Amino acid sequence: MADPTLTNAALDPAALPPTFHLSRHPAVLHKLALLRDVRTEPKKFRELVREISWLVGYEALADARLRPLKVRTPLEETDGAELADRIGLVPILRAGLGMVDAMLELMPTAQVWHLGLFRDERTLRPVEYYNKLPDSATVDLSLILDPMLATGGSATAAIEVLKRWGAARIKLINLIAAPEGVAAVTSAHPDVHIHSAALDRQLNERGYILPGLGDAGDRQFGTGVGD
């Protein structure tokens, strides 16, 4: 049977870069089909973005560092663990905003640093419009949140901002990735691990992911009706 996480039957999962991690969880695949569906309204779409983000984020955080801790149960003292990594969530505005709550449920102590980037529709190049990062990095592990990895321009720009900031370990969390975006990020930043719910077939001539889900920002926020 064809691998339902891949919409490109020609893609050999074994040929994917080792830093690219595709979720294969049945709950992710079920929700992803609903997310893609053109009939899914913004309210349901936002719920699905949140639910899939939680599941993909859970997988991406599997190697977060712990330190040992003693904990007293009502009966006795035992060994426990607490998170040692200071986690930074970096949602890319706008569409990454819908992923933040789910990640904060997983990691309630995470810092949230918003980055405003939009893609110039003509050049497909990212334009930065909001960045309030302090002078030096305040986290050990940064998770960039953006539902869509298309050309990879926005993700690459975000990674560059974080590296200039001094971020040591960076992961990119997406819901849908295009092969072009995975290749661009992997070649510019081979140290950055990418976690995604799907790897789609290709980009169209306007830089949209096929089959994709359309414009992730517009579908979450009910905009783009006049386009």
Scanning residues 129 to 158, which ones bind ligand URA (CB under 6 A)?
A: 148, 150
Under the criterion CB under 6 A, does residue 209 sit at the interface with ligand URA? yes
Closest C-alpha among 108, 156, 162, 173 to residue 140 = 162
Q: Which does 212 bind (CB under 5 to 8 A by kind): ligand URA, ligand PRP, none?
A: ligand URA
* Binding partner selected for residue 208 from ligand URA, ligand PRP, none, CB under the kind-specific 5 to 8 Å limit: ligand URA
What Rg value do the Cα atoms of the chain yield, rounded?
18
The answer to the question of residue 126 lying near ligand URA (CB under 6 A) is: no
**216 in contact with ligand URA (CB under 6 A):** yes
**Least distance from C-beta 206 to ligand PRP, angstroms?**
10
Residue nearest to ligand PRP (CB): 217
Choices 15-23, 70-78, 183-191, 206-214 (CB under 6 A): range interacting with ligand URA: 206-214
Can you name the residues that pair with 115 across neighbouring β-strands?
92, 131
User: Across the strands, what pairs with 47?
Assistant: none
212 makes contact with ligand URA (CB under 6 A): yes
**Active-site annotation, residues:** 119, 123, 215, 218
Nearest CA among 197, 217, 172 for reference residue 45? 217
Q: Which is nearer to ligand PRP, 54 or 118 (CB)?
A: 118
Measured from the CB of residue 211, what is the shortest distance to ligand URA in angstroms?
A: 9
Omega prior to 94 cis, within 30 of 0 = yes
| CB 140 to ligand URA: min, Å | 29
What's the 3-state SS for 7-44? Answer: CCCCCCHHHCCCCEEECCCHHHHHHHHHHHCCCCCHHH
Question: Which residues contribute to the site for ligand PRP (CB under 6 A)?
Answer: 92-95, 117-119, 124, 126, 146-155, 181, 207, 215-217
**What's the rounded Cα separation, in Å, for the pair 154 and 110?**
22
Q: Which residues contact 48 (CB under 8 A, 6 or more apart)?
A: 31, 34, 35, 40
Distances (CA, A) of 131 to 135, 147, 224: 11, 19, 25
Chosen from ligand PRP, ligand URA, none, partner binding at 209 (C-beta under 5 to 8 Å by type) = ligand URA
Nearer to ligand URA, 92 or 133 (CB): 92
Distances, alpha carbon 208 to alpha carbons 78, 81, 91, 190, in Å: 52, 43, 20, 24
Shortest distance, CB of residue 196 to ligand URA, whole angstroms?
A: 13
